[in-house]
């Protein structure tokens, strides 16, 4: 069982309109809804009357969520009313809910530090949501090594022929694991190079840090002149939050940011680049998820696997997931 007392994203802001949205976080089911006045609510997705899914209900003009079965309705604070028996005052268990970084986040109990995704200097580009049909650890494995990128990805990462020259360094701290990768940028064509403001022969740096409650990775991506080591102006920040939604299902929320690039024509290139960043990120995540859904072996244990130099993080991640994120009774 995972910790529910840390913030998990459960819906993109743009998707939460008049209809409530149900989501699963670990073993728990939650419904989030938004009243006409914008007030958010998050309740257990189970009517306290006879167990109907509240996420199939409707939001009333007063901002209460009405159950589709017998019409009992619940306010964001959980207080319920029962139209057929007004003297009855049912309650629905509530979750803490906030809207931040373009997503709706929930937690149950406990003060929790909010994950630092974008922050100062980063302009948000998009938030994407995907579902992986694989356990958390195996999805995270894929998202935290670059060895697959030449073979699997269309634009992202390093060409297969260059992988032997890619430098990868792991820095494991108590509550975080950082991986720094640097190597030749793969050929992405002149137009895209121009939009990113990079030159042929530039090196691509992918410097990411994984944290564990919730499990999320912040990727800082930029290009450098290999001769001088000087960075080009454009930088990208991609943050992916991994939400276990069952033993073999993981929901991913991907937050994309850019720094604006700087220099002459930055505004124009920014306008052209943004839709491309949305499309490319969506494509690349889908390529990863198609791959991990086809693994022959869904066992998350690493015993018996023959691991390579890019796989050192796999064990570091598992130890921290067990210690910082899963409840003790699941720790082996
Ligand atoms: S089950 Fe929800 S009102 Fe009856
Ligand atoms: Fe990938």
Q: In CATH, what number is assigned to the domain containing residue 98?
A: 2.102.10.10
Residue 116 lies in a domain: no
Q: Mark whether 186 and 318 lie in a shared domain.
A: yes
State which ligand 1 atom lies nearest to the alpha carbon of 54.
2
Question: Does 158 lie in the same domain as 29?
Answer: no
318 phi and psi angles, rounded to 5 deg: -60, -40
Q: Residue 285 belongs to what domain range?
A: 123-330
Q: Whose CA is nearest to atom 3 of ligand 1?
A: 70
Q: What is the CA(300)–ligand 2 centre distance, in A? A: 18
Ligand 2 centre to CA of 146 (Å) is 7
**Residue at 2 is within a domain:** no
Whether residue 141 lies inside any domain: the answer is: yes
**Domain match, 160 and 193 both:** yes
In terms of Cα–Cα distance, which of 271, 274, 216, 222 is closest to 244? 216
pLDDT exceeds cutoff 70 at 132: yes
- The verdict on 193 and 296 lying in the same domain is yes
Residue 150 and residue 285 in one domain: yes
pLDDT of 264 > 70? The answer is no
Whether the predicted pLDDT of 332 surpasses 50: no
Residues 6+ apart with CB under 8 A from 155: 186, 188, 192, 280, 284
State the virtual CA torsion across 120, 33, 126, 287 in degrees, nearest 10: 130
Closest Cα to atom 1 of ligand 1: 50
| Index of the ligand 1 atom closest to the CA of residue 67 | 2
The answer to whether residues 217 and 298 belong to one domain is: yes
Single residue among 56, 80, 107 that ends a domain in this structure:
107
Quick one: DSSP state of residue 287?
Answer: H
Determine which of 115-124, 199-208, 251-260 has the lowest per-residue pLDDT on average: 115-124
From the CA of 70, give the closest atom in ligand 1.
Answer: 3
Nearest CA among 140, 118, 138 for reference residue 127? 118
Clarify whether residues 142 and 245 are in a common domain: yes
Cβ-Cβ contacts under 8 Å for 195 (sequence gap 6 or more): 269, 272, 273, 276
How many whole angstroms from 80 Cα to the centroid of ligand 1?
11
pLDDT at 296 over 70: yes
Strand partners, 95: none
Q: What are the pLDDT digits (tens) for 70-113?
A: 999 999 999 999 999 999 999 999 999 999 999 999 999 988 89
Distance between CA atoms of residues 56 and 115, nearest Å? 30
The whole-angstrom separation of Cα 157 and Cα 21 is 34
Q: Which of 31, 60, 70 to mutate to test ligand 1, by most ligand atoms within 8 A of the CB atom?
A: 70
Centroid of ligand 1 to alpha carbon of 37 (angstroms): 25
Rounded to an integer, the average pLDDT of 8-24 is 97
Query: Domain containing 291 — which CATH number?
Result: 3.90.380.10
How many domains does the chain fold into? 2
Mark whether 233 and 312 lie in a shared domain: yes
- Domain limit, last residue, from 83, 107, 131: 107
Looking at the structure, tell me whether residues 90 and 206 fall in a common domain: no
Which residues are placed with Cβ below 5 angstroms of ligand 2, an ion? 288
Asked whether residue 113 is assigned to any structural domain, the reply reads: no
pLDDT of residue 330: 43
* pLDDT for position 317: 98
The yes-or-no verdict on residue 329 having pLDDT over 70 is: no
Residues 21 and 86 in one domain: yes
- Ligand 2 centroid–CA 143 distance in Å is 5
Residue 284 inside a domain? The answer is: yes
Residue 102 within any structural domain of the chain: yes
CB distance 112 to 18 below 8 Å: no
Q: Which ligand is nearest to the CA of 48?
A: 1
Mutational pocket test of ligand 1: of 31, 48, 60, 69, the residue with most ligand atoms within 8 Å of the beta carbon: 69
Q: Could you tell me if 137 and 56 lie in one domain?
A: no
Residue 243 pLDDT > 90 = yes
Same domain, 130 and 102: no
pLDDT at position 331 over 50: no
Question: Does residue 91 sit within a domain?
Answer: yes
As a whole number of angstroms, the distance between CA 212 and CA 231 comes to 29
Torsion over CA: 102, 16, 51, 244 (sign): negative
| Residue bearing the CA closest to ligand 1, atom 4 | 70
Task: Please check whether residue 114 lies inside any domain of the structure.
Answer: no
Residues with CB under 6 A from ligand 1: 47, 49-50, 52, 67, 69-70, 72
The domain boundary residue, chosen from 107, 134, 151:
107
């Amino acid at each position: 069982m995972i910790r529910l007392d840390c913030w998990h994203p459960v819906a993109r802001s743009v998707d939460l309109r008049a209809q409530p949205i149900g989501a699963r976080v670990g073993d728990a089911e939650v419904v989030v809804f938004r009243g006409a006045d914008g007030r958010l609510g998050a309740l257990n997705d189970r009517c306290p009357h006879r167990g109907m899914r509240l996420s199939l209900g409707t939001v009333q003009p007063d901002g209460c969520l009405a159950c589709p079965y017998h019409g009992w309705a619940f306010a964001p604070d959980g207080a319920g009313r029962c139209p057929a028996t007004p003297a009855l005052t049912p309650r629905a268990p509530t979750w803490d809910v906030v809207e931040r970084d373009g997503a709706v986040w929930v937690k149950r109990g406990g003060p929790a530090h909010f994950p630092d995704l974008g922050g100062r200097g980063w302009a948000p580009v998009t938030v994407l949501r995907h579902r992986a049909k694989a356990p958390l650890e195996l999805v995270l494995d894929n998202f935290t090594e670059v060895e697959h990128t030449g073979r699997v990805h269309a634009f992202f990462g390093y060409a297969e022929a260059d992988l032997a020259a890619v430098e990868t360094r792991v820095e494991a701290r108590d509550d975080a694991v950082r991986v720094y990768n640097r190597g030749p940028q793969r050929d992405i064509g002149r137009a895209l190079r121009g939009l990113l403001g990079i030159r042929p022969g530039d090196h691509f740096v992918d410097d990411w840090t994984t944290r564990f409650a919730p499990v999320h990775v912040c990727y800082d991506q930029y290009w450098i002149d290999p001769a001088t080591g000087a960075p080009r102006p454009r930088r990208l920040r991609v943050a992916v939050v991994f939400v276990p939604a069952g033993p073999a299902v993981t929901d991913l929320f991907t937050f994309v940011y850019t720094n604006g690039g700087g220099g002459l024509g930055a505004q124009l290139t920014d306008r052209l680049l943004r839709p491309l960043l949305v499309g490319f990120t969506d494509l690349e995540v889908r390529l990863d998820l198609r791959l991990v859904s086809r693994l022959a072996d869904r066992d998350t244990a690493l015993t018996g696997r023959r691991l390579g130099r890019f796989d050192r993080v796999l064990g570091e991640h598992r130890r921290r997931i067990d210690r910082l994120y899963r409840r003790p009774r699941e720790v082996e």
